[in-house]
Amino acid sequence: MKWNLLPVKNVSFQILWSRCPMRGLAYHCRSRLGPWRRKVSDKTDEGGLKKNPNVTVITTDYSPTSLAHAFTGQDAVLSLLGLSAIGDQQYALIEAAAKAGVKRFLPSEFGIDTASAQVLATVPPFRVRAELIDDIKAKQAAGSPMEWTAVVTGFFLDWGFHVGFLGLDVGKHTAEIWDDGDVPFTVSNLSLVARTVVKLLTDAAAYEASRNAYVYTGSATTTQKELLAATEKATNAKFEVTRVEGQKLIDESTTKLAGGDGAAVLPLVKAVAFARFDGEALTDLRKYGLFNEKFGIKEDSIEAMVKTLIEKWHELPYSRYVAPTVG
């Protein structure tokens, strides 16, 4: 079933509030809603959203009835769930969205490249993300017209820099650098991801280009070594560096994860960016062509962005967030 490719008018955000960067992404997406009315389905923390005149908040318990109410009349669903919630809950979202006639579903990707077999082999819990896409494809094969777009961002630069996920502790002037720190990886600021999402939902050409596809974003492609140098320059401080033996940590974490230690996921996620696999830098997303750049959404150099992050350290909307946890 074909339908008119006009900018979509109604988007439902599906949010489960948690201490993760999805909250920051939701903040940036909402700030770009403009005059449209949006329905936001939010399970646990809707107070701030109710202050936004462009948002109608609908609380859901993820039952078929409540989700059908949330998605009725919506053109697109943007799912912003944390890792621990993207299994059964997101399957429920997909099922309800398809039944409600939603035209485009954006699953909770926004991270490392789950279209890569090597990434999934390294971080097995992320296989559920690829399986969710397979679920939508199966519905399409059975006649559902609902399309999908998966947005791959690499690591979030602003959030990851702020909470130390990129290996730098700005407050303590310390750094954990994997091996020589020279593996290139792509990072995206949350604001750039939000601009890209809004673009692909409101621009006819971008909407068509992202139909049933993985799209890749990037504010910059850098290395830990380059990021450290930019941070030392911006802070006018020398950082104490601890070296991480990449392959040793990968082996140890793989064994722990196989034994049921969920905390071992995080080092493996970092490995996908900070280590090479058979010579390949898995999170250097330039090889796919960056969707945001194709549509004129670009940002400054890594040095300039780090300088801004340091200068506006306490102004970030997610500055109170803590590092991610698994479980």
The CA-based angle 22-26-28, given to 5 degrees, is 115
In eight-state DSSP terms, residue 236 is T
pLDDT value, residue 81: 77
Rounded to the nearest 10 degrees, the angle between the axes of helix 190-202 and helix 21-31 is 50
Q: Where are the beta strands (DSSP E) in the chain?
A: 11-15, 38-42, 55-58, 76-80, 104-106, 147-152, 155-156, 168-169, 174-178, 185-188, 213-216, 220-222, 240-244
Query: Which parts of the chain have pLDDT scores under 70?
Result: 1-57, 82-87, 315-327
Q: Are 43 and 14 in contact (CB under 8 A)?
A: no
Q: What confidence tens digit (pLDDT) does each residue in 245-295 have?
A: 999 999 999 999 999 999 999 999 999 999 999 999 999 999 999 999 999
Q: What confidence tens digit (pLDDT) does each residue in 125-166 have?
A: 999 999 999 999 999 999 999 999 999 999 999 989 988 999
- HSE of 96 in the Cβ direction (CA atoms, 13 Å)? 26
Strand partners, 156: 188
User: 10 Å Cβ neighbour count for 172?
Assistant: 10
pLDDT value, residue 73: 84
pLDDT value, residue 62: 77
234 to each of 155, 169, 259, 262, 312, how far by Cα in Å? 21, 13, 42, 35, 12
Q: Cα torsion at 302, 270, 154, 115 (round to 10°)?
A: 150
pLDDT value, residue 8: 56
What DSSP string describes 274-321? HS-BTTB-TT-GGGG--HHHHTT-----HHHHHHHHHHTTTTSTTTT-
User: 10 Å Cβ neighbour count for 181?
Assistant: 20
Distance CA 176, CA 108 (A): 28
Q: Where are the beta strands (DSSP E) in 137-199?
A: 147-152, 155-156, 168-169, 174-178, 185-188
pLDDT value, residue 290: 97
pLDDT value, residue 11: 57
Distance CA 11, CA 228 (A): 39
pLDDT value, residue 16: 45
